[in-house]
């Protein structure tokens, strides 16, 4: 995708959740996570790449001691249909005996987060909680329900706030969907 194509896609897209709604949701989620984990010294793990914006903005709202690290698993690449999960990087910080909070941008079919959770439990994590900024209303029987959910999104390919559209626009502060898929 080149600059022109990326700009055209954004111009044609529909806002699903505004930046204001995103910020209010971050505040609410941080309060929920604080209530559950503020005394546990959790290990917060960002699922790269899409989780980076949500996780970064969430972290600045978590006012209690925690460790931070990341892992990288992907199954979409630049495509809009998921494939086989590809593990790129495991967390460097040992998870054995830890309460872990996994942070990702979207729960779509749930395959990625279910695989991440299973792998962390296999590595000996005491408890694995999951936080997703958006949960797609796709009517699918997901293998996992997130412990903390920000906003729901319709069953369309969405982008912005960490999520890419053909590689572009992870940097948007709001959530969009391509108009032609409405």
Ligand X SMILES: O=P(O)(O)OC[C@H]1O[C@H](OP(=O)(O)OP(=O)(O)O)[C@H](O)[C@@H]1O
Ligand Y SMILES: Nc1nc2[nH]cnc2c(=O)[nH]1
Residues that bind ligand Y (CB under 6 A): 76, 106, 108, 157-159, 163-164
Please choose which of ligand X, ligand Y, none residue 138 contacts, taking the beta carbon within 5 to 8 angstroms, the exact cut-off set by kind: none
Q: In what order do the strands lie in the sheet with 158-159?
A: 13-17, 175-178, 158-159
Q: Give the tokens for residue 83.
A: 């494939």
CB of 87 to ligand X, least distance (A): 11
Please choose which of ligand X, ligand Y, none residue 38 contacts, taking the beta carbon within 5 to 8 angstroms, the exact cut-off set by kind: none
Question: Binders of ligand X among 104-163, rule CB under 6 A?
Answer: 104-112
According to CB under 6 A, which one of 6, 21, 66, 82 is a site residue for ligand X?
Answer: 82
DSSP string, 145-167: --SEEEEEE-SS-EEBTTB-BTT
CB of 66 to ligand X, least distance (A): 21
CB of 182 to ligand Y, least distance (A): 14
Please choose which of ligand X, ligand Y, none residue 178 contacts, taking the beta carbon within 5 to 8 angstroms, the exact cut-off set by kind: none
CB of 99 to ligand X, least distance (A): 21
Phi, psi of 59 (to 5 degrees): -55, -40
Please choose which of ligand Y, ligand X, none residue 128 contacts, taking the beta carbon within 5 to 8 angstroms, the exact cut-off set by kind: none
Count of beta carbons in the 10 Å neighbourhood of residue 54: 27
CB of 126 to ligand Y, least distance (A): 28
Encode 124-140: b = buried (16+ Cβ within 10 Å), e = exposed: ebeebbbbbbbbbeeee
How far, CA to CA in Å, does 66 sit from each of 39, 101, 124?
A: 9, 10, 18
Q: In what order do the strands lie in the sheet with 99-107?
A: 86-89, 67-74, 43-48, 99-107, 127-136, 148-153
Please choose which of ligand Y, ligand X, none residue 158 contacts, taking the beta carbon within 5 to 8 angstroms, the exact cut-off set by kind: ligand Y
Give me the residues that bind ligand X (CB under 6 A), please.
Answer: 47, 49-50, 74-76, 82, 104-112, 164
């Amino acid at each position: 995708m080149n600059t022109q194509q990326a700009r055209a896609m954004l111009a044609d897209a529909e806002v699903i959740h505004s930046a204001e709604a995103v910020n209010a949701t971050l505040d609410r989620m941080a309060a929920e996570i604080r209530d559950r984990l503020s005394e546990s010294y959790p290990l917060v793990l960002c699922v790269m790449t899409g989780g980076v914006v949500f996780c970064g903005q969430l972290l600045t709202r978590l006012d209690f001691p925690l460790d931070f690290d990341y892992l990288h698993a992907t199954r979409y690449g630049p495509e809009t249909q998921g494939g086989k999960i590809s593990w790129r990087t495991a967390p460097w910080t040992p998870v054995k005996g830890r309460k872990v909070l996994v942070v990702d941008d979207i729960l779509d079919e749930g395959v990625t987060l279910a695989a991440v959770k299973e792998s962390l439990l296999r590595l000996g994590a005491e408890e694995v909680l999951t936080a997703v900024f958006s949960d797609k209303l796709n009517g699918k029987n997901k293998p996992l329900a997130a412990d903390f959910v920000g906003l729901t999104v319709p069953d369309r390919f969405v982008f912005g706030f960490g999520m890419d559209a053909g590689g572009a626009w992870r940097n948007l502060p709001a959530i969009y969907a391509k108009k032609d898929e409405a």
